[in-house]
C-alpha cells in the first residue's frame, strides 16, 4: 500500500482528510523540529495524517483518537499495512472520554469543528513546555471569513463556533497563535 491509496480511498468514500498543502505544512514543521517525538491527534479518520506524521522520523510516536467505528477499523487496517502498529496507537473513543496520562510535543486538533475550544481546554494541560498545538479547518472552506449571512442554520452555527475559537486563540493570555492561510486554514499555538 502507498499513501496515494489512502488519498484515493478518502476521495471515493468522502472521508475528510487533510488537504495536500496542509499535510505538507504539518509534516515539514515536524521535520524541522527534531524535538517533536510524542504526538496526540484528535480526529484520526482512516489514519492518513497519523501515518504521514509517523513517516517523518522513526522516533515519532502518535496517539490518535477516533469515535467512528468504521473509520477506526479502516485506520487500524491502514496502520498495519504501513507496519506502523508500534508507533501509532489508535483509540476507539470519543475524545472527551479519553483519560490522558502522558505529555505531548504536538497536539493536532482535527475533529468536530464545533468543539475546538473544549478540545483545546481538555488537552493543552498535557502539552510539553515547548509543545505546539496545530488546529485545522479554521477557514472552513472560506466560511469563517464570509461576511454575508450563511443560509443553512447548522452550517451557520458551526461557523460561529469556529469563529469563537479563532477569537479565543487570539485573546488567550497563556498562549500565542499564528494563523496560516494554508490548506483549509491552520493555526499553530504555543505557550507564551
Ligand atoms: N486527521 C485526519 C486526516 O487528516 O487524515 C482527518 C480527521 S477528520 C477531519 C475528523 C474525524 O474526527 C472524523 O473521522 C470524526 O469521526 C472524528 N471525530 C469528531 N469528533 C470526535 C470526537 N469528539 N472524538 C473522537 N473523534 C472525533
Burial of residue 154 (CB within 10 Å: 0-12, 13-18, 19+) is exposed
Domains (range + CATH), the chain: 3-191 (3.40.50.150)
Could you tell me the pTM of the whole model?
0.96
User: What atom in ligand 1 is closest to the CA of residue 96?
Assistant: 23
β 175-180/88-92 pair status: unpaired
CA separation, residue 140 to residues 6, 130, 133, 153, 161 (Å): 22, 28, 18, 15, 11
pLDDT per position in the chain (192 positions), as tens?
999 999 999 999 999 999 999 999 999 999 999 999 999 999 999 999 999 999 999 999 999 999 999 999 999 999 999 999 999 999 999 999 999 999 999 999 999 999 999 999 999 999 999 999 999 999 888 888 888 888 888 888 888 999 999 999 999 999 999 999 998 899 999 999
Q: Mutate which of 25, 67, 95, 185 to test ligand 1's pocket (most atoms within 8 Å of Cβ)?
A: 67
Amino acid at each position: 500500500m502507498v499513501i496515494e491509496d489512502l488519498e484515493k480511498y478518502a476521495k471515493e468514500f468522502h472521508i475528510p482528510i487533510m488537504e495536500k498543502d496542509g499535510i505538507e505544512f504539518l509534516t515539514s514543521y515536524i521535520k524541522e523540529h527534531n524535538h517533536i517525538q510524542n504526538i496526540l491527534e484528535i480526529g484520526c479518520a482512516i489514519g492518513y495524517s497519523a501515518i504521514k506524521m509517523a513517516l517523518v522520523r522513526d522516533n515519532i510516536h502518535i496517539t490518535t483518537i477516533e469515535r467512528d467505528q468504521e473509520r477506526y477499523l479502516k485506520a487500524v487496517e491502514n496502520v498495519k499495512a504501513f507496519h506502523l502498529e508500534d508507533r501509532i496507537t489508535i483509540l476507539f473513543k470519543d475524545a472527551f472520554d479519553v483519560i490522558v496520562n502522558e505529555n505531548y510535543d504536538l497536539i493536532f486538533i482535527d475533529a468536530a469543528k464545533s468543539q475546538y475550544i473544549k478540545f483545546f481546554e481538555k488537552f493543552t494541560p498535557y502539552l510539553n513546555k515547548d509543545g505546539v498545538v496545530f488546529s485545522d479547518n479554521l477557514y472552513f472552506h472560506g466560511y469563517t471569513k464570509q461576511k454575508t449571512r450563511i443560509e443553512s442554520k447548522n452550517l451557520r452555527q458551526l461557523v460561529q463556533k469556529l469563529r469563537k475559537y479563532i477569537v479565543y486563540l487570539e485573546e488567550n493570555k497563556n498562549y500565542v497563535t499564528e494563523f496560516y492561510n494554508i490548506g483549509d486554514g491552520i493555526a499553530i499555538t504555543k505557550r507564551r
